Amino acid sequence: MKFLVCISNVPDTTTKISFTPDNKEFNKAGVQFVINPWDEYALTRAIELKEAAGAGTVTVLNVGQADTEPNIRKALAIGADDAIRVDAAPADAYFVAEQIAAVAKEGAYDVILMGKESIDYNGFQVHGMVGEMLGIPTIAPAQKLDMAGNTATLEREIEGGKEIVQVNTPFVASCQQPMCEPRIPNMRGIMTARTKPLKVVPAVGEPARTTVAEFALPPKKQGVKLIDAENAGELIQLLRSEAKVI
């Protein structure tokens, strides 16, 4: 079984978001970048399934410029066998999907795993686009993934419940908790990661279809109005008469 795990390079979850003075770009100064938290589920589950089968390979793929390589190495340290970086800024979801689809086709991967969504752009769309480009099913978001031979059984989260879905390879799935307990690299992993292959390939396909004209921060809150715990019921009056939400 050949697994392709797509990882995106995103600001750490504790990042205070700010933009360049013209509000056109995210201000990267001082920001720590990490593997997108949801992609860690995809990576760990691929490694677990490979280990359980006793055969197979796990390739990680990132569409990004050279500054993403520390996180690609981290994925190799966690247990991926090799890596591919498509050398281009991830201009938009469509552009990223084209790159992933091209790599997936070229390498004839059986299982393409992604995260539920990127925490920077929150598209929740790359997996669907890749599935359509390759003409294969996409299961998103999946909270459980088991494999028996070429057949996968997944649990897909829907609003208010879940679906049990069975598909044959090849397929795309986007992963989220509680699929597995994401692994962290150990010392041996970090050592071996240095020598694992990381191939850099050029971008293909058509340009992006969307561009960010401007970023903005949410409006600031006015400040909190405190109500004495002794008269907690007063809060309910205020929610009705002042805030008008009940």
Partner 1 sequence: MSVLVVVECADGEVKKSSLEVATYGAKVAAMLGTTATAVAVGEANPENLAKLGEQGITKVLHDAEPRLKDFVNNAYTKLIATAAGQEGAKVIILANSNIGAAVGSRLSVRLKASLATNVVELPKIDGGAFTVKRGAFSGKAFADVSMSGDCKIIAVKKNSAEAQHEAGKTAEVLAFAAQLTDADFADAPQQVVMQDQAGGILLPEADRVVSGGRGMKGPENWGLIEDLANALHAATACSKPVSDVDWRPHHEHVGQTGITVSPNLYIACGISGAIQHLAGVNSSKVIVVINKDPEAPFFKAADYGIVGDVFDVLPKLTAAVKALG
Ligand X SMILES: Cc1cc2nc3c(=O)[nH]c(=O)nc-3n(C[C@H](O)[C@H](O)[C@H](O)COP(=O)(O)OP(=O)(O)OC[C@H]3O[C@@H](n4cnc5c(N)ncnc54)[C@H](O)[C@@H]3O)c2cc1C
Residues that bind ligand X (CB under 6 A): 6-8, 13, 36-39, 61-64, 89-93, 96, 114-115, 117-118, 120-127, 174, 210-212
Contact call for residues 30 and 129 (beta carbons, < 8 A): no
Site for partner 1 in 61-120 (CB under 8 A): 93-94, 97, 119-120
Q: DSSP labels for 82-143? A: EEEEEES----HHHHHHHHHHHHHHHT-SEEEEES--TTT----HHHHHHHHHT--EEEEEE
31: Cα within 13 Å, side-chain hemisphere? 20
Residue 209 near partner 1 by CB under 8 A: yes
Query: How many other CB atoms are there within 10 angstroms of residue 118's CB atom?
Result: 24
CB of 7 vs partner 1, minimal distance in Å: 15
Residue 140 near partner 1 by CB under 8 A: yes
Placement of tokens 């490694």 in the chain: 47
CB of 6 vs partner 1, minimal distance in Å: 14
CB of 203 vs ligand X, minimal distance in Å: 11
Pick from 54, 160, 187, 188 the residue near partner 1 by CB under 8 A. 160
The entry of partner 1, ligand X, none that residue 79 binds, CB within 5 to 8 Å by partner kind: none
Placement of tokens 């991926």 in the chain: 80
Total number of residues that touch partner 1 (CB under 8 A): 77
